[in-house]
Structure 1
Amino acid sequence: MKAIYLDCFSGISGNMLLGAFLQAGVPEAYLRAELAKLPLEGSYVMKVEPVMKNGIAACYVDVRLPHHDDHHDGEHGHEHRTMADIRALIEASALSEAVKARSLAIFQTLAEAEGKVHARPADTVAFHEVGAVDSILDIVGAAICLDYLGIERVFASKVNTGSGFVHCAHGLMPVPAPAVAELLLDWPSYHAGAEKELTTPTGAAFLRSQAAFSESLPEGFRAAGAAYGAGTWDLAIPNVLRLYIGQLEEAAENGQGTDFLVLETNIDDMSPQVYGYLYERLFTVGALDVWTTPIVMKKTRPAAMLSVLCRTGSKDACASVILRETTSIGLRVRKVAQRIEAERETVHVATPYGEVACKRAFWHGALVNSKPEYEDCCLLARRAGVPLKQVEEAARLALAALACDGLRESKS
């Protein structure tokens, strides 16, 4: 499966993530086109440029608002938004459902941390630094990049938080900022190299929501390349985030003791409307599969058994979502010794209606299955005002042509 490893020796922030993803192969034009689907009022300028950080060639991304040109000490002006505002903005966008779900998962993680720090419900927290256009673009942009690259697992190292103090909307705060400290409570961290804020709330929320800790490159991870996203600072150490991209061998992962689990619970008192949202949240925190089975409980009540397949490392995150989002007050946990799966990749094909992401599966090197992403086809069908099956057929034809090209190349 396709995976990335984030080496956070100089911290992690939203713009560092975007820079690393762009250098790792996400086309800048694609990222800009997807971000344009957000219904943001006003305009913004996203600057992307190659930079050198202590001799390392990196990609620097910076988002600025035209009316906030005069910033000091590298900080941007900010607009306040609540989590409810941000959720409404993302849900109203034309982004794919997968990108929406991942973006909201990252923001929700951040909202819960901010809410705990300020003793307020997560939905009512007024985001200052992270509520502005630049940070919305950072978080949604990271979700877009993960989706484009087809990343299934994210790993990260211990984190350099930086040290000293930082100016924010609440005044002078210690580094790491309170929200960052909350997000990294059980994540190995340290500070070295600079009295600066090296890890931001957006960067910490990405780790907490999307990544699993690994001291070094995980066993069985075969890196195909490394990319660097630049931070704002010029320091004694290179202010870059290093991203390794490659394949994680399933057998090797199982050898590390990362067995598979099934979490189960019986639910007889919850609205069926909740399940769609629940499924999305579970997939964003690492669930491999989610399903419900009709059952009959005591007093012949019709009910549903919720089942979630996940890795051991995702157990706590999945359990947290179930207990927070459903009426369940307990779970059963069963160990699954092994899971056999084909190698997978995501490719993007051009159709007369637009670009469609497609999944392809391989068994022992042979292509055994391929299909267009349903949500992408739905979006293009709505835009073009044509039947969904017409877009799906165009995508399948493009996929077939791609497979034929690959076969010709292998023969030659």
Structure 2
Amino acid sequence: HEHHSDCTQHCHQVKVSEEPVHHHHEHRNLHDIAHIITHSDLHDKIKMQSLQVFTALAEAEAKVHGKTVDEVHFHEVGAIDTIIDIAGCVLALEYLGIEKIFVSNIHTGSGFVNCAHGLMPVPAPATAELLQGLQHSHGKIEKELTTPTGAALMKVLAVSTNDIPQGFSGSKIAYGAGTWDLEIPNVLRISIGELEAEAGGELLVAECNIDDMNGELYPYVQERLLQAGALDCWLTPIIMKKGRPAQTLSVLLDPQNLDQLTDILLTETTSLGVRYYAVHRHINYRKVTIVSLPEGEVRIKYAQMDGKIVNIAPEFEDCKVLALKSGHSLKTIMQAAAAAAEAQLEQ
């Protein structure tokens, strides 16, 4: 995601307070923005992912300025723009049924720009901080081609890759054009498609037993794990020593993600350790499409085995929205969506 914008405008977006925080109408900090997002009509997954991106952005700004997150203020206009950018991107991904994002080498641009703090190298300090762990390069263009907002989106939502992932089959391509006339095409290209999973392969299950954690924390931890690349995550009630009721938190993952996901388990839960072991799996090929009902659109996930459809599953969140909007029961909407999907297959 390369967000092409005027750097002078962007660099004035963030202000770092040198004094205790006093709330004024022209500035918003992370807490203020979190309040706006959490009290919106967006569903919980969109809220959580949007807040994760905003938190990454605020943490990067705070780190490069040597301040706390609460001391980072977003100017009013900049905050509104950034809320729309971030929440809009996350909402679009959910609407399109995107399950995973792969990003190739990110061009940051090069040279210097005049910011509120003086002359700064490209990428801007916060952008450079956010791009750690992602493949990126300066290139020959002396412009700011990647802003902190774009870098934060990729930091939280994407996985870095050298090439198009093996097994990827594209179905649609879209372009976003910048306003600058550069030596190279000033466009961002996005390919949407399906990634055919391997029939087998060795994976890992990492798990920990927990008997002393507030139950309200589990959904948050599971969202963090899934967003960081976990293939699945589940809880199993168990009885530990001395008859204590507890939960086993289990995570299915690719071996390459073990360290990152283990860090989340050890920092976001009360567990003092994590165990892991190898497993194998076989999965059906999946395909997502959209059906239209009188109440609105619903995404449908098909599961195929040996070229035959073996399962049809309407997207729960889509059906929930239509049920609440129309006044029909949720089960009626789900049944109608499944029937429409079957009819679509017969055409």
Shift of 1:76: 9.2
Which AA in structure 1 matches 2:64?
V
The one of 35, 38, 47 equivalent to 1:91 is: 38
State the TM-score, normalized to the length of structure 2. Answer: 0.84
Shift of 1:225: 4.2
Which residue does 1:361 correspond to in 2? 303
Aligned partners of 1:350 and 1:395 also within 8 Å: no
Which residue does 2:252 correspond to in 1? 309
Higher relative contact order (CA 8 A, sep 6+): 1
Which AA in structure 1 matches 2:125?
P
Which AA in structure 2 matches 1:271?
N
Matched, 1:230 2:177: yes
Matched, 1:13 2:2: yes
| Pair 1:280–1:139, CA change in 2 (3 A) | same
Work out the CA distance in 1 between the residues paired with 2:299 and 2:170. 23
Shift of 1:85: 2.1
Which AA in structure 1 matches 2:250?
S
Counting aligned pairs with the same residue, the percent is 48
Shift of 1:73: 6.1
Shift of 1:217: 1.4
Aligned partners of 1:130 and 1:201 also within 8 Å: no
Work out the CA distance in 2 between the residues paired with 1:130 and 1:324. 35
Which residue does 2:138 correspond to in 1? 191
- Provide the secondary structure at the position in 1 that maps to 2:198: helix
Q: Which stretches in structure 2 are left out of the alignment for 5+ residues?
A: 14-25
The one of 192, 211, 217 equivalent to 1:268 is: 211
Shift of 1:184: 1.7
Which residue does 2:53 correspond to in 1? 106
Work out the CA distance in 2 between the residues paired with 1:253 and 1:124. 49
| Pair 1:161–1:128, CA change in 2 (3 A) | farther
Shift of 1:239: 1.5
Which residue does 1:391 correspond to in 2? 330
- The root-mean-square deviation of aligned C-alpha atoms, in Å, is 2.9
Q: Spell out, residue by residue over 1:280-302, the C-alpha distance to the aligned partner (whole angstroms, 9 max, x if none).
A: 22222222211112223344332
Which residue does 1:376 correspond to in 2? 318
Work out the CA distance in 2 between the residues paired with 1:218 and 1:262. 23
Matches within 5 A, 1:3-402: 12-14=1-3, 78=13, 80-122=27-69, 125-128=72-75, 132-251=79-198, 254=201, 259-336=202-279, 338-384=280-326, 386=327, 390-402=329-341
Q: Spell out, residue by residue over 1:84-130, the C-alpha distance to the aligned partner (whole angstroms, 9 max, x if none).
A: 22222222222233322322232233233233223344465324599
| Pair 1:103–1:130, CA change in 2 (3 A) | farther
| Pair 1:302–1:344, CA change in 2 (3 A) | same
- Provide the secondary structure at the position in 1 that maps to 2:169: strand
Q: Which stretches in structure 1 are left out of the alignment for 5+ residues?
A: 1-11, 17-61, 63-70
- Provide the secondary structure at the position in 1 that maps to 2:258: helix
Shift of 1:146: 1.7
- Provide the secondary structure at the position in 2 that maps to 1:250: coil
Shift of 1:307: 0.7
State the TM-score, normalized to the length of structure 1. Answer: 0.72
Work out the CA distance in 2 between the residues paired with 1:80 and 1:13. 26
Q: Spell out, residue by residue over 1:136-168, the C-alpha distance to the aligned partner (whole angstroms, 9 max, x if none).
A: 212112212222222222212122111122344
